[in-house]
Amino acid sequence: MIEKDRARFIYQTMNRIRCFEMKAVSLFESNKLRGSVHLYVGEEAVAATVCSQLSEEDYIASTHRGHGHCIAKGATLDGAMAELMGKSTGYCKGRSGSMHIADLSKGNLGANAIVGGGIPIATGAALASKMQNNGRVSVSFFGDGASNEGTFHESLNLAAVWKLPIIFICENNLYGISVPSWQSTSVKDISVRGQAYGIPGITVDGNDVEAIDEAFRTACQRARDGEGPTLIECKTYRWLGHWTGDPQPYRTREEIEEWKQKCPIKRYRTKLIEQGIFTSEELDGIEKEAQAEADRAAEFALNSPEPDPAGLLDDVFYEGGAQV
Amino acid sequence: MIKTYAMAVHDVMAEEMRRDERVFIMGEDVETLGGVFGCTRDLYKEFGTERVRNTPISEAGFVGAGIGAACAGMRPIVELMYMDFTFVAMDQILNQAAKTRYIFGGNAKIPLVIRGQQGIGRGNAATHSQSVETFFMHIPGLKVACPSTPADAAGLLRTAIRDDNPVMFFEHKALYAQKGEVPEDIDFTIPFGKADIKREGTDVTIVANLLYVGRALEAAEILSGEGISAEVIDPRTLVPLDMNTITESVKKTGRLVVVHEAHRNAGWGAEIAAQVTEDVFPYLDAAPIRLGTAPCPLPFNLGLENAATPQVADIVKAAKTVLYRI
């Protein structure tokens, strides 16, 4: 059983992510938001649970499907929605959008639109933590598709030989865009790839908060104790298309419906009531609060100014200014 | 103090590691072997194997780790055994290191040096002899340095290590044994974006980098015997690029030859010729000439390698051509 404060954080965070994303979808559909928007709906338990055990100083590196990680690691919905809308008040001044959103002040090394691109970076942050002996851990989030990238294998090997304080979290949502993982991935359980690098690998139900929590606690302790990395595979499912507008000819309605029955938010809600941690009314309150926050975030973003083109070349370099 | 180019690189890394504990080196064979070219020789004895860190042969992994470590407060120097191997790690360099600060809205700094040697001279053939600096000046967010002397290597590398941006630092394998005076001041730096006039002249401007600075100077000596006064300019950094020194020289001479070991096609010399043409066209008395490596992979055979790359005689000929002396 998860202690009350953390249980609240997890439930609240899952709902904030869900409401944020559904709001983003409606903004996208009304042409108020452009670009690639990869939705995490159905996978919220992973980010919310993992981040409930991290402090602000710990690092995460995320993926193109990164809203959930960003919010769970401490982003405000206002700043995140403004970034998705490309506004100057966004976390990255409107330069990043959904696919590259980052907030280093909260230890978030960024969404990463190159599949597998963030894994070595998270590994490097763990190397820095080890060299600085500051007790921080890194979490590298990535999908099943990324586990076929060289950077995944290189990073697991590096982290293993250097015993780095990092936890590799594979969110296996069963598809790399349209390609089912049985067609692209040589193993049924990606966690067995840990064995190749001499590190523990474990597969958990990625829609089960408590299962994730337990596996991550062990891995996190191992990392903080200087014993090195762990690979955790969370089996989950993205309810929506790879992107907003994906016609999804590669899977059936029945399959999607089946997974919707396993909704991580509903499941945890039932559990929290069963365990007597929160009443149904209290949980309703958390949900309403999340919805209101997402609505306010949309208003904030819509009313925020566009970035000034005069700042186009700012921050290309540390000292500012153009390339040449 | 007289030092080799390799020793200049070695000593600056040691001095900077003494000065700042956040600086560390990682790369292939940098520890007990001291790097294949000796640039990290014995450094592990003073700084330990945490800070002079052998890596697996895993370029994308350890270049990416350099980025993450830089984001997390370290100042990594990542050594690539050959700069040809940048391509194995290209996504991490171009999509990650170069873009991170900008796309984070300015809320990150990436004090990362990626350094190593490149070029001809040892018969390393197609995949180990290329000059690849041009690729990196095309992508915003990277600085690009190319020293041609031991002093420049020392001053530019110290600037690179103290810079808060990712710096691509290109050494040349055929220059490592070259000796020259290097200031002993442990704060000796050469600012980026400041070209060096290696020889003053009035009749023709020759712009060259790395190994070709020496070759351009040889050509200038020959030209002087024929009554032609050549000015030789080494831009030293391609990003930032000191166009002002080059255009001022062209305004004086009215003639431009650019010579480099990078391939001639779309090489950095083309950028310089274009900018000179745009900026000081009325001063030009002849169309600029670009010399560079032929459009073929670098062949192993020495005669073929020489045939593929610009020779001193080619530089002399180009200078005379822009002066209509041929």
> What b-and-e string marks burial along B117-135, b requiring 16 or more CB atoms within 10 Å of the CB?
bbbbbeebbeebbbbbbbb
Interface of A with B in 43-62 (CB under 8 A): 59, 61
DSSP 8-state symbol, A103: B
Q: Which residue of A has its CA nearest to B50?
A: A131
Q: What's the gap between Cα A148 and its chain centre?
A: 19
Give me the pLDDT at residue A134, please: 97
Domain end call among B149, B181, B213: B181
Chain B nearest C-alpha distance from A316 (Å): 5
Rounded CA separation B244/B138 (Å): 19
Interface of B with A in 269-308 (CB under 8 A): none
Rounded CA separation B147/B55 (Å): 26
Q: Which helix (H) or strand (E) holds A121?
A: helix A119-132
For an interface test with B, give the residue of A57, A119, A127 to mutate (most B CBs within 10 A).
Answer: A127
Q: How crowded is residue A257: how many other Cβ atoms within 10 Å of its Cβ?
A: 10
Interface of B with A in 234-273 (CB under 8 A): 239-241, 243
Domains observed in chain A: 4-311 (3.40.50.970)
> Active-site residue B15, yes or no?
no
Of B65, B105, B240, the CB nearest to A91: B105
Q: Which residue of B has its CA nearest to A113?
A: B95
Residue B148 has pLDDT above 80, yes or no: yes
Q: What's the gap between Cα A185 and its chain centre?
A: 22
Give me the pLDDT at residue A321, please: 60
Q: Are B161 and B169 in contact (CB under 8 A)?
A: no
Q: Kindly state the average pLDDT of the residues B82-87.
A: 98
Together in a domain, B148 and B6? yes
Together in a domain, B237 and B275? yes
Rounded CA separation A296/A299 (Å): 5
- In total, the C-beta contacts within 8 angstroms joining chain A to chain B are 156
Give me the pLDDT at residue A322, please: 57
Q: Is residue B136 part of a domain?
A: yes
Domain that holds residue B308: 196-322
Together in a domain, B118 and B171? yes
**Residue holding tokens 């966004």?**
A90
Domain end call among B127, B154, B181: B181
User: Hey, CA dihedral for B53, B56, B62, B63, is it positive or negative?
Assistant: positive
B163/A125 Cβ within 8 A: no
Of B55, B61, B73, the CB nearest to A128: B73
CATH code of residue B207: 3.40.50.920
Asked if residue B111 has a cis previous peptide bond (ω within 30° of 0), the answer is no
Give me the pLDDT at residue A139, please: 98
CATH code of residue B143: 3.40.50.970
User: pLDDT grade, residue B229 (50/70/90)?
Assistant: very high
> Active-site residue B128, yes or no?
yes
Of A96, A121, A318, the CB nearest to B64: A121
Together in a domain, B245 and B317? yes
B213 Cβ partners below 8 Å, 6+ apart? B148, B149, B198, B232, B234
DSSP E strand boundaries for chain A: 59-61, 138-143, 166-172, 175-176, 179-180, 201-205, 230-235
Residue B291 has pLDDT above 70, yes or no: yes
Is the complex ipTM more than 0.85?
yes
Domain end call among B152, B181, B210: B181
* Residue among A60, A62, A41, A11 at smallest CA distance from A173: A41
Q: Kindly state the average pLDDT of the residues B119-132.
A: 96
Rounded CA separation A306/A86 (Å): 7
Give me the pLDDT at residue B326, please: 86
pLDDT tens-digit map of B189-205: 999 999 999 999 999 99
Q: How crowded is residue A270: how many other Cβ atoms within 10 Å of its Cβ?
A: 12
Q: Is residue B190 part of a domain?
A: no
Together in a domain, B168 and B203? no
Using a cut of 0.90, tell me whether the model's pTM lies above it.
Answer: yes
For residue B179, which amino acid is it?
K
Rounded CA separation A131/A135 (Å): 10
Residues of chain A with pLDDT under 50: none
Together in a domain, B156 and B202? no
Chain A nearest C-alpha distance from B120 (Å): 28
A154/B102 Cβ within 8 A: no
A157/B141 Cβ within 8 A: no
Together in a domain, B22 and B87? yes
B2-4/B179-181 β-pairing:
antiparallel
Together in a domain, B69 and B170? yes
Q: Is residue B85 part of a domain?
A: yes
Number of domains in chain B: 2
SS3 B296: coil
Give me the pLDDT at residue B14, please: 98
pLDDT tens-digit map of A44-61: 999 999 999 999 999 999
